[in-house]
Structure 1
Amino acid sequence: MSLVDFFTPINLSEFSGSNGYYNSQFGKVVQVYTDSFPDLEDAEVKPQIALVGVEEERGAVNNEGTKKSADAVRRYFYSLYQGDYQVRIADLGNIQAGATIRDTYYALKTVVEELVKNDIVPVIIGGGQDLTYAQYLGYEGLEQRVEVAVIDAKFDLDQDNAEETELSSNTFLNHIILHQPDYLFNLSNLAYQTYLASKESINMYDKLFFTTMRIGMMSGKLDQAEPLIRAADMISFDIGSIRASEAPGNANAWPNGLYGDEACQLARYAGMSDKCSSIGFYEFNPTFDPMGHTASLLAQMIWCFIDGYYNRKNDAPLIPKSSYIIYRTTLANEDYELVFVKSKKSDRWWMQVPYFGSKSVNERYYWVPCRYEDYQTAVDGDMPDIWWKTHQKLQ
């Protein structure tokens, strides 16, 4: 089955109006699936980024209307101007809801898998956040460990019936964590609000050595979240993590959360990450967005992701070694020598965590994105928390 079989084309005239678009607007430069499907094979013309709409809402709990999100975002996205770079972006159209929700999951899984295999980054504009599970399934056949970052105001887990939970936007993390075969290396939950998270959920994350960062830790110092985003292969962004005054287009919107400019910055961090190979924006509901503020914000978030992508530094350590400054420090008890590297290109930091036992035959070290503050912690003689959690997962 060809990918084109999963998609319905776009009627561009619905979004462009009578005047069309200027040459540097996305509506003019994006390869839009109108009559013919974009060429995804020819290395000379194939896109680097592909927009994927998903008209599915059956898994969006108390948020009916999310299936209309992709077209609502296109109306604003196509009118934005590209940055100072040549883009190769395709809009593949919309994946229609299948006869059952499992059919939609299968379609999205297949699309993500084929695009990632082909070095094309899918930008999913979806319905419910349950589609994150289908996004995750797209990595199953790629034979790699996967790190997932979820930007969400709460933990979408069912603690009481972990193994018998029906898949929905409130429980998709159960299905990712328990999925077999297990190829999940790490799960990060960013921008959660403590009063929306049970202590059992937080304890479970700690027990599994997963990573959490509450909204208060990020307020005014968004760079704290950058290493966690840089570590992720795939990112799931719940529009409900943005405060209702900034993004009202969500039936489950909360009064507190990220500001719009913070959401854009997080999207740009994701785009700049050399490792990020897919991102999904979920839970936007045009029914609650009569003025188009949320659709416009989401279009700008996608713009920021694209801007980050075209400003990637390709500086994952240590190739070449001359592009890095290496720092070594010993902890107070002298059990370990910790090795840090700093990229001369981007000033970003990584920390070296050795493999123990026979976990990896071909690799001796795992490079963990970190911050300068983690290096300072090690210089002061203390073990950075991120080193310890990674060490536990590598045993």
Structure 2
Amino acid sequence: MGFDFLAPLEEETVLFIEGLSSQHLGSKVVLHTESDFPDLDQVKMAIVGAMENRGQNKTEAVELSYIRQELYRLFPGNWHVSIADLGNILPGDSAEDSYFALQQVVAELLKRNIIPIVIGGSQDLTYSLYRAYDNLEQMVNLVSVDSKFDFGKESEGISAASYLTKIVIDEPNNLFNYCNIGFQTYYNSQEEIDLIEKLFFDAYRLGDVSNNIVISEPVFRDADIVSIDLTSVKSSDSGNFTTFTPNGFNGKEICSLSRYAGISDKVSLLGIFNHDNSRQEAVLIAQVIWYFIEGYHFRSNEYPYGSKENYLKYIIPFENDELVFFKSNKTDRWWIEIPFISSVNNKLKKSTLLPCSYEEYLAACNQEVPERWWKAQRKNII
């Protein structure tokens, strides 16, 4: 059973949580301790620590107690979300052992319809998160909040700076789409930028997202996995001066992105990686997790759960085709239909809806094909 890989919370952390008042978030979380393992039947979210950081070539141990203390001393919103803290996956004899253990734990949680919140460790652990979907027989959409694409050479071993290559290349290939939020051009070679285009992946520059953060919302609405690299936040806001980052998201922006991830009906897994073990950055990570949980509480359970009767349908005629949009009567959010083409080898098994923005609908009215729709069509048939 996957949970055998989990070590209980340290006694110091348990005592800290037990010392909090009944109003704090910590008092509302069930804990994996030396003497008890949570009953997961009613749990909706589970926090898992992953102590592996060899992908960053670091020798010091991962410190997660600061994050837990800062998170559990926060006050919850008006939530009704049952949360468990399942403790930590300790580093294995090799990094591959750690990857396997994390994959097993996350796969077991996904099978139980529990959303894992994984706190790393190095970001190469995202590969384990992706592989955890292997037995679910579905295509996977991965969104990474990162200043870099993290491609590497095939001949290199997996690391925090090269894990995406392994995701793209390894079989079984269940990746339908990868989207980067917040890349900084000078950290990525032109070859990598061209590869993103060649693979029909999506990428949004830091400046574009900071100027209009709402453009990222449809991206999160279509994600299964969200992986956040903490070095995407500028050091003046994160407190991480070990890895100095002069430019990046500010604290408010990274929390907004986390809330978008939480509010998405589709996101089933959040990973937070590449932190520096400091008290300062732990405060930010705690708030990022808090906003994800709040977003989850406000999920609207729309498509694919809702009936199309709850949507207005808009058909935009083109010269040889048409684009079909749907607008939710409940939230005013928009989707565009990706049609099923029976004469080709489709990755998707039926017509599906791609989240989009009102601006993309207006562009279609002006006979401009939305770029994300075009890329999704291309990925579907190649």
TM bin, normalised by shorter chain, reads: over 0.9
AA of the residue aligned to 2:282 = A
Separation in structure 2 between the aligned mates of residue 385 and residue 193 of structure 1, nearest angstrom: 21
1:114 equivalenced with 2:108 (yes/no): yes
AA of the residue aligned to 2:322 = E
Pairs within 5 Å for 1:259-298? 259-286=250-277, 289=278, 292-298=279-285
CA contact (8 A) 2:146 2:180 kept: yes
Under a length normalisation based on structure 2, what TM-score does the superposition of the two structures give? Answer: 0.95
In structure 1, list runs of 5 or more residues that go unmatched: none
Partner of 1:84: 78
What CA deviation, in whole Å up to 9, does each residue of 1:125-174 have, x standing for no partner? 0010010111111111111100100110111112xx3x212100010011
Partner of 1:146: 140
CA contact (8 A) 2:17 2:26 kept: no
CA contact (8 A) 2:151 2:192 kept: yes
Partner of 1:312: 299
Partner of 1:371: 357
What CA deviation, in whole Å up to 9, does each residue of 1:154-202 have, x standing for no partner? 11112xx3x2121000100110010101111000011000111111101
Post-superposition shift, 1:342? 1.1
Does the residue aligned with 2:62 lie in a helix, a strand or coil? helix
Partner of 1:21: 20
Separation in structure 2 between the aligned mates of residue 134 and residue 377 of structure 1, nearest angstrom: 38
Does the residue aligned with 1:157 lie in a helix, a strand or coil? coil
Separation in structure 2 between the aligned mates of residue 194 and residue 371 of structure 1, nearest angstrom: 25
AA of the residue aligned to 2:234 = R
Provide the alpha-carbon RMSD of the alignment. Answer: 1.8
Change (3 A) 1:221 1:36: same
Does the residue aligned with 1:115 lie in a helix, a strand or coil? helix
1:55 equivalenced with 2:51 (yes/no): yes
In structure 2, list runs of 5 or more residues that go unmatched: none
Partner of 1:37: 37
Partner of 1:339: 324
Partner of 1:169: 160
Does the residue aligned with 1:123 lie in a helix, a strand or coil? strand
Partner of 1:246: 237
CA contact (8 A) 1:15 1:74 kept: no
1:102 equivalenced with 2:93 (yes/no): no
Post-superposition shift, 1:318? 7.3
The alignment of Structure 1 onto Structure 2 pairs a total of residues equal to 379
CA contact (8 A) 2:124 2:161 kept: yes
CA contact (8 A) 1:330 1:337 kept: yes
Greater CA drift, 360-369 or 370-379: 360-369
Partner of 2:372: 386
CA contact (8 A) 2:104 2:132 kept: yes
AA of the residue aligned to 2:289 = I
Partner of 2:308: 321
Separation in structure 2 between the aligned mates of residue 253 and residue 109 of structure 1, nearest angstrom: 31
Change (3 A) 1:79 1:143: same
Post-superposition shift, 1:71? 1.7
1:191 equivalenced with 2:187 (yes/no): no
CA contact (8 A) 2:13 2:65 kept: no
Post-superposition shift, 1:344? 1.7
Separation in structure 2 between the aligned mates of residue 388 and residue 369 of structure 1, nearest angstrom: 13
AA of the residue aligned to 1:180 = E
CA contact (8 A) 1:342 1:348 kept: yes
Partner of 2:6: 7
Percent identity over the alignment is 39
What CA deviation, in whole Å up to 9, does each residue of 1:282-327 have, x standing for no partner? 00111xx3xx221011001000000011110000157312211111
More helix by share: 2
Separation in structure 2 between the aligned mates of residue 236 and residue 306 of structure 1, nearest angstrom: 15
1:128 equivalenced with 2:111 (yes/no): no
Separation in structure 1 between the aligned mates of residue 3 and residue 143 of structure 2, nearest angstrom: 29
Under a length normalisation based on structure 1, what TM-score does the superposition of the two structures give? Answer: 0.92
Separation in structure 2 between the aligned mates of residue 193 and residue 394 of structure 1, nearest angstrom: 28
Post-superposition shift, 1:3? 3.4
Change (3 A) 1:113 1:318: closer
Pairs within 5 Å for 1:220-259? 220-249=211-240, 251-259=242-250
Separation in structure 1 between the aligned mates of residue 251 and residue 109 of structure 2, nearest angstrom: 29
Separation in structure 1 between the aligned mates of residue 313 and residue 59 of structure 2, nearest angstrom: 52
Post-superposition shift, 1:358? 4.3
